[in-house]
Each structure stands twice: as C-alpha cells, then as structure tokens.
C-alpha cells in the first residue's frame, strides 16, 4: 500500500485537511466579529480532536479575514501551532484601482503576500506555500528567486501549486531548486474521470475532468501530494437539497445513502472514502466551519480502507450514468 507523499516527507499523516475558506465571515472589508472568531476556534478544536492536523488557507479567503480569524485563535492559544501543519496560497488578485481581476506570480507579489499572510496568522513561518492557479505571465526564474528567498529566510518550509498541469509543474521545477510537493485540484465523485481519454473537459457543473497529460500519474511518480478541493461537490451526495441534480447524480445520491446505511457511517465518509481509495493517496480539503460536518467526514479514513474495488466502481459508474468513461 502506498503512503501519502506528505507522510513520506514526515510533514503530516493527516489524511484529511480542513479548508479555511469559510472562516472570518463575509467576503467584504467589515471587521471580524467575536462570533466568527469563536466559530473558527470551535472548528479548529473539532478538527484537531478528530485527528485532522492540516489546515488550508489562501490570502484571498474572505478578503484576508479567514487568516485573521485563525490568527486570533492561535494568538490566544499559542501551543496549538506545534500541533498543526499550516499552508496558504497566493497569486490571485481581485480587481482594484490598478487593474482587473488577475493572477500575479511576480517576485514582489509573492514575497509581499507571504509577509501579510504570516502577520494575519500570527506565526513566523508557513509549512507550505501554494501558488494559487496558473499565471499566464509567470516568469519561472522570478518565482524561483522568490522561493529561494522565502526558504532561506525561514518564512516558508515547502512549496506547491494549485490547479496546474504536468507541463506547468515541470517548467517551475526546471528553474527552482525547490521540489513542488503539493498540487491542489478540483476533484469529486461527480467531477473526475480517472480514465485518460485524451481530452480535457472544462470544469463546469455537471461535467467531468480528464487529466489527459498524465497529471495524476506524474504526481504519483514524483511524490507530489494531490489535494482535492471541493471534494464533497457542494454536498450533492451528502444532504444539500437545494441543488438540481441530474438523473445520474440523483441515482448516485441514493447509492451513497444505501452504502452509508449498510456500513453504519455518514454520507460524507462514503463520498470522501471513494476519493481517498485511489492509489494516489488523495488528501481531501473539506471546506466547512460546521463542527458536525467535520466530525461526519472523519470516518472516511476507515471507509477508505474498507471500500472494495467493486464498491468503488459501483459509485464511479453510477455517477457517470451507468457507464465507464
């Protein structure tokens, strides 16, 4: 059996990560309320008490307030830092008086973003920094310089990317001494085809994504941790009744419920367990502040170990209209 790439590097063995996008309140510039800080504290406590030690941030989440709320909790409980692996992301810039919404992998922006992230989180280093989405204007030499400066200063220990393909990863690594150890991708039961048919389908609701350039296999070979964002697909199969489902999704939702009842577990555990059953040792990033939802997700680790090849394919085929990709 394979080991998680992050565990191989003795960074963390946490099979799940808690996504912190919902911390801090609304996506605006309003001050953080005491209620939001308390909500963040309860979510952190639920995660740590459930064995989740990996926390995923980005500098844009709730306009920086997600990191700020997290920082409030750490400042009041400094001993928590040693129990955590904290990663954050930078590179996305919102529209402002300078320009439109854009990506920015310039050395200046990366270095400045990390300083601001550390200040908001009230910590002296990030365990992992991810580049947030590809920047078409990326200068790999400039990114390499930023990585080197962050590493030598002790502000960042490891580096990774999000939503990048194999060629983009190889280009960055060709110019940098730092190996990329994470690639965060959108992956879920209804949005991923593991069978390479040589096509890439746009990531739109109700469509599947093929990683046609051998991205998953490349990550496995190079020990790059694949992390899955939106692994529960907005709760399509685990209780969100506000979404309009396709015929395949509705039938798969019934199948997930049937499996959960038979195994005495939660809907979330079945959906996440399916994703984690893949040999790449995918690490789902569950984005919630709901304490019960965090706890409901934890049994996915056990379900991963119990899920048979036949059960995995039953879910896979069902979610694709009862046919293989």
Q: CA–CA separation, 278 vs 276, rounded Å?
A: 5
pLDDT of residue 201: 40
The confidence band for 190, taking pLDDT boundaries of 50, 70 and 90, is confident
pLDDT of residue 324: 81
The confidence band for 212, taking pLDDT boundaries of 50, 70 and 90, is low
Q: Which of 172-181, 190-199, 302-311 has the least mean pLDDT?
A: 190-199
Q: Where are the alpha helices (DSSP H) in the chain?
A: 5-8, 34-49, 65-76, 107-121, 140-153, 166-175, 215-221, 247-263, 267-276, 291-298, 300-306, 309-319
Q: What CATH architecture does domain 5-243+278-299 belong to?
A: Alpha-Beta Barrel (3.20)
- The pLDDT tens digits for 256-284 are 999 999 999 999 999 999 999 999 999 99
Q: Is 13 left (phi over 0), alpha (psi -120 to 50) or beta?
A: alpha
Residue 65 has pLDDT above 50, yes or no: yes
Question: What percent of the chain stands above pLDDT 90?
Answer: 87
- Read off the pTM: 0.94
Across 246-255, average pLDDT: 94
The pLDDT mean for the chain works out to 93
Say which residue, 39 or 201, is predicted with more confidence: 39
pLDDT of residue 210: 58
- The pLDDT tens digits for 97-151 are 999 999 999 999 999 999 999 999 999 999 999 999 999 999 999 999 999 999 9
Residue 73 has pLDDT above 80, yes or no: yes
Q: Which of 47-56, 142-151, 200-209 has the least mean pLDDT?
A: 200-209
For residue 295, what are the CA distances in angstroms to 21, 42, 124, 234, 254?
18, 12, 30, 17, 22
Q: Domain ranges in the chain?
A: 5-243+278-299
Residue 199 has pLDDT above 50, yes or no: no
Residue 198 has pLDDT above 80, yes or no: no
Question: What percent of the chain stands above pLDDT 70?
Answer: 94
Across 72-83, average pLDDT: 97
- Report the length, in residues, of the chain: 325
| CA distance from start to end of the chain | 26
pLDDT of residue 206: 44
Catalytic residue flag (residue 316): no
The confidence band for 204, taking pLDDT boundaries of 50, 70 and 90, is very low
């Amino acid at each position: 059996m394979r080991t998680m790439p992050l565990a191989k590097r003795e960074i963390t063995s946490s099979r799940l990560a808690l996504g912190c996008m919902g911390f801090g309140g609304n996506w605006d510039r309003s001050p953080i309320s005491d209620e939001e800080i308390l909500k963040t504290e309860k979510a952190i406590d639920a995660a740590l008490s459930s064995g989740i030690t990996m926390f995923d941030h980005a500098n844009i989440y709730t306009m920086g307030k997600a990191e700020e709320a997290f920082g409030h909790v750490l400042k009041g409980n400094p001993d928590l830092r040693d129990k955590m692996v904290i990663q954050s992301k930078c590179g996305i810039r919102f529209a402002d008086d300078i320009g439109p919404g854009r990506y920015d992998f310039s050395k200046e922006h990366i270095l400045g973003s990390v300083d601001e992230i550390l200040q908001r989180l009230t910590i002296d280093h990030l365990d992992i920094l991810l580049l947030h989405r590809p920047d078409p204007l990326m200068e790999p030499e400039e990114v390499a310089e930023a990585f080197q400066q962050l590493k030598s200063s002790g502000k960042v220990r490891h580096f990774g990317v999000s939503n990048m393909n194999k060629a983009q990863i190889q280009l960055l690594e060709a110019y940098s001494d730092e190996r990329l150890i994470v690639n965060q991708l959108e992956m879920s039961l209804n949005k991923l085809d593991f069978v390479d048919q040589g096509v890439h389908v746009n990531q739109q609701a109700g469509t599947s994504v093929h990683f046609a350039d051998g991205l998953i296999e490349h990550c496995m070979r190079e020990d790059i941790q694949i992390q899955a964002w939106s692994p529960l697909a907005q709760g399509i199969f685990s209780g969100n009744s506000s979404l309009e489902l396709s015929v395949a999704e509705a039938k798969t939702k019934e199948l997930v419920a049937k499996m959960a009842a038979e195994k005495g577990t939660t809907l979330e555990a079945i959906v996440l367990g399916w994703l984690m059953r893949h040999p790449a040792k995918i690490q789902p990033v569950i984005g919630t502040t709901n304490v019960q939802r965090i706890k409901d997700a934890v049994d996915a680790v056990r379900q991963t170990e119990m899920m048979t090849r036949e059960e995995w394919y039953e879910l896979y085929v069902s979610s694709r209209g009862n046919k293989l990709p």
